Structure 1
């Protein structure tokens, strides 16, 4: 059963579609404020719920990263049936899936938000047990920062994570790294210096490795990992809107 508030959402608008992809252990709820902003300025918006997310951690433990990616592919087909073009915006791991999607489907543009290439050392990734030893083990998530100006229904995620899925996340990141040179669509990268989950050098790494002739990077100073919910979210929304309007 889907957690209340973790459902995918669809906002019908113009002929230009935008697919929103949430992050690891998250849900479409974290994309809601951005989705409503983009809908208000005329886009048709769809936020996908990744397989194994928004239900129970046990469900997630039975998935692999390609299941999450296939959820994105399914959502792309649904949105493309309603729109003349589809751009993709991904938060954290969702950004990795968005960039991968652009190498296999005719995506118009990609926005990569806090996308991981390097995980901050303080997250203890070096202490992750081997894959076989990670089965049936769950670890409490680090408590997210409280966002005073954001409704609680925009921050719905698991309170614990299956360690086996961290291995899947790392596999997804490795697949992205091997395929960054195949990314050729216009890309807008957002990364914060105060992100304590994804090392800030991830954004520059993506920028340097993709082959897009049109690529931009926005370096934030104050936000944490969830840049679309944190104190600089209005700046992020505005810059995404401008990026979508630019013609390349």
Structure 2
């Protein structure tokens, strides 16, 4: 059963569609404010719910990286049915999924927000037990309460499955291998103050993407959750401007 407020959302607009993909242990509501902003700019927006998210953490513990990628693929297919062109955008692990999807689907561009190529050391990633010791193990997940956000944003999982961490790390490795094959225009947004996805992640993505059209926008005071953070207006404005530019050019790319 899906937690109230954790449902996927669809905001109808024009023939350009934006697929929004949330992050690890998150919910679609984390991207709802961004979705409403983009809808007001004339775009159709679909915020997907990744498998095992917005239900129970035990449910999530049974999911794989392929399950999460399939959720993103399903969202892409739904949006493709009503739009002429698609922009794929994701936050955190959703940014990794957005890059993976951009490597296999026809898209006009990709937006990566706080995507973690490198996990910040303070997250204790170096202390992660061996994979075989992680089955049915969960660890607390600290997170501060945010103001002026949809209620579901402050009701996400307060612990995370260690097997899920390994699944996420596997997705990151897949994305690293596929970055050179991604040729579509790309926008990378990352905070210098990110204590979850090390800021070096953004530099790695920029340097290894195969696209000739790629830009990196640094935020300075936000934490990891930039779509609901203090500089969300910058995230929204830069994303809308990027979408307008790549769609106005009419030069759409496939993979």
- Contact kept? 2:183, 2:210, Cα under 8 Å: yes
State how 1:54-203 maps to structure 2 within 5 Å: 54-142=54-142, 144-203=143-202
TM-score using structure 1 length? 0.97
Residues of 1 paired with 2:150 and 2:101: CA distance? 30
Partner of 2:36: 36
What is the SS of the residue equivalent to 1:173?
helix
- Contact kept? 1:191, 1:220, Cα under 8 Å: yes
- Contact kept? 2:30, 2:150, Cα under 8 Å: no
TM-score using structure 2 length? 0.95
Residues of 2 paired with 1:174 and 1:34: CA distance? 28
1:154 Cα offset (Å) = 3.6
Partner of 1:12: 12
1:159 Cα offset (Å) = 1.0
Q: How many residue pairs end up in the alignment?
A: 247
What is the SS of the residue equivalent to 1:87?
strand
1:236 Cα offset (Å) = 1.1
Residues of 1 paired with 2:31 and 2:9: CA distance? 10
What is the SS of the residue equivalent to 1:79?
helix
Residues 122-180 of structure 1 show CA distances to partners (whole Å, capped at 9, x for unaligned) of 000011111110001111102x2333333433444211111111000100101111111
Residues of 1 paired with 2:150 and 2:80: CA distance? 30
Residues of 2 paired with 1:193 and 1:156: CA distance? 26
CA-atom RMSD, angstroms?
1.0
- Contact kept? 1:89, 1:112, Cα under 8 Å: yes
Residues of 2 paired with 1:113 and 1:155: CA distance? 19
Partner of 1:219: 218
Question: Structure 1 unaligned runs (5+)?
Answer: none
- Contact kept? 1:188, 1:215, Cα under 8 Å: yes
Question: Structure 2 unaligned runs (5+)?
Answer: 250-255
Residues of 2 paired with 1:58 and 1:149: CA distance? 29
Kindly tell me: are residues 185 and 211 of structure 1, through their superposed partners in 2, closer, same or farther at Cα, counting changes over 3 Å?
same
